[in-house]
Amino acid sequence: MRKKAEPVELSWEQVSARRLERAGLGARWRASAPAAAAAAMCGVHAQVMSAAELSLGLRVPGLTRSGVRAALWEERELVRTYGPRGTVHLLPAADLPLWLDAMSSLPSARGAGPEGLRLTPEQTELVVRAVADAVAGAELTIDELDEAVVAGAGPWAGDLVMPAFQTMWPRWRQVMAVAAHRGAFVFGRGRGRKVTYTAAPAGRAAAGGRDHLVRSYLWAYGPATPEDFARWTAAPVRWAAEAFAAAGAEEVRFEGRRAWVAAGDTDAPAEPPSGVRLLPHFDAYVVAGRPRELLYAGPAAARALNRGQAGNHPVLLVDGVVAGVWHGRRSGRTLHVTVEPLDELGSGRTRALGEEAERVAAVLECEARLTIGTVTVGPHA
């Protein structure tokens, strides 16, 4: 009987170097276009659009925030919608059918809202149809969409029962992410400072979305465990483990622990991770990166995590690990960049930090003024 091969062993240094390269943050690879970068990142967190613009601009040579906006609103190679964890993401428009198939399979999307307030399956279907009907050929603000959904689904949809930001939202909004995951709408261009919602781009429904999502996630952030994937998707661990098995994920040993990669994808760069990077709020590299105790080693956990949550602070990344925090304040054509390293950088890394600050400013279409000192701004909510 043939003996089963032992799992491949991967160290943190190998995995860190591999993730950096695949994220477009290493020395060798950069994305050729915004959609390619978004695909490599497995989606770009876009609750804060300026942060999403910076995440993409740092990965695509020559790309500025204007270029990201053009890719989103003119070329339409990106789409803004609800992604993992029910948070707003920029996704490649070409992959949207696969994303919708994957997201709509999440068990966590089937019972949103507290007991006594949640919608029944029948009410959820009515809301999804009402949203899709309302945004067909239109861009609606949230107030306009509220009126349309109540008119289409029934008065119960407008009951003010959801506590939110010191006010109450109508009942139907608890399934906004569900409606987006079923293809009822995407975010529109916006009307002044108001967010708008519009019809999702036309495209054929796709099957196999969950497998595609698992493979994309593991390519970008593996080795990972079902528990890691469950946190990233906000889904039950059992569902995540079934998804790994169905996608044929391959077991490896990562720092002595069981973890998984996409089948056959055990390669890692020969060189150790290197480079100095400034990552914005909620950059995918740190939000998805685990184990946190290795990515945020030593004092980085206390300084750069917010109650264990990654992304609330923009971070300084040195050789693949979090090594400080930073803040950018724009004044006219100048971006004042304050960086708080946790250790001495040395002359070489200080020069590299200056170059990185200039890259950040170039993406935001301004000029950099760098200060190394204490960041006094608190975490983003």
pLDDT tens digit at each of 381 positions of the chain? 445 678 999 999 999 999 999 999 987 778 899 999 999 999 999 999 999 999 999 999 999 999 999 999 999 999 999 999 999 999 999 999 999 999 999 885 444 556 678 899 999 999 999 999 999 999 999 999 999 999 999 999 999 988 888 889 999 999 999 999 999 999 999 999 999 999 999 877 788 999 999 999 999 999 999 999 999 999 999 999 999 999 999 999 999 999 999 999 999 999 999 999 999 999 999 999 999 999 999 999 999 999 999 999 999 999 999 999 999 999 999 999 999 999 999 999 999 999 999 999 999 999 999 999 999 999 996
Paired with 169 in beta bridges are 162
The answer to whether the CB of 273 falls within 8 A of the CB of 285 is no
Structure-block tokens of residue 345: 């950088």
Query: 101-117 burial string, b = 16+ CB within 10 Å, else e?
Result: bbbbbbebbeebeeeee
Residue 317, in any domain of the structure: yes
Upstream peptide bond of 291 is cis (omega within 30 degrees of 0)? yes
Residue 233, in any domain of the structure: no
d(CA 164, CA 173): 11
The answer to whether the CB of 370 falls within 8 A of the CB of 344 is no
The sheet that has 250-254: what strands, in order across it? 9-10, 250-254, 257-261
Residue 298, in any domain of the structure: yes
Give me the pLDDT at residue 4, please.
Answer: 67
Paired with 80 in beta bridges are 90
Please count the residues of the chain.
381
Residue 306, in any domain of the structure: yes
φ/ψ (deg, to 5) at 88: -75, 135
Give me the pLDDT at residue 34, please.
Answer: 97
Enclosing domain of residue 341:
276-372
Overall number of domains in the chain:
1
Give me the pLDDT at residue 108, please.
Answer: 54
Determine the 3-state secondary structure of 325 from DSSP.
strand
Residue 206, in any domain of the structure: no
pTM assigned to the model: 0.94
Residue 163, in any domain of the structure: no
The sheet that has 140-141: what strands, in order across it? 140-141, 196-198, 186-187
Residue 280, in any domain of the structure: yes
Give me the pLDDT at residue 37, please.
Answer: 97
Give me the pLDDT at residue 346, please.
Answer: 95
Number of Cβ within 10 Å of residue 327's Cβ equals 16
Give me the pLDDT at residue 187, please.
Answer: 98
* Listed residue (37, 39, 80) closest to 189, CA to CA: 80
d(CA 320, CA 341): 14
Residue 63, in any domain of the structure: no
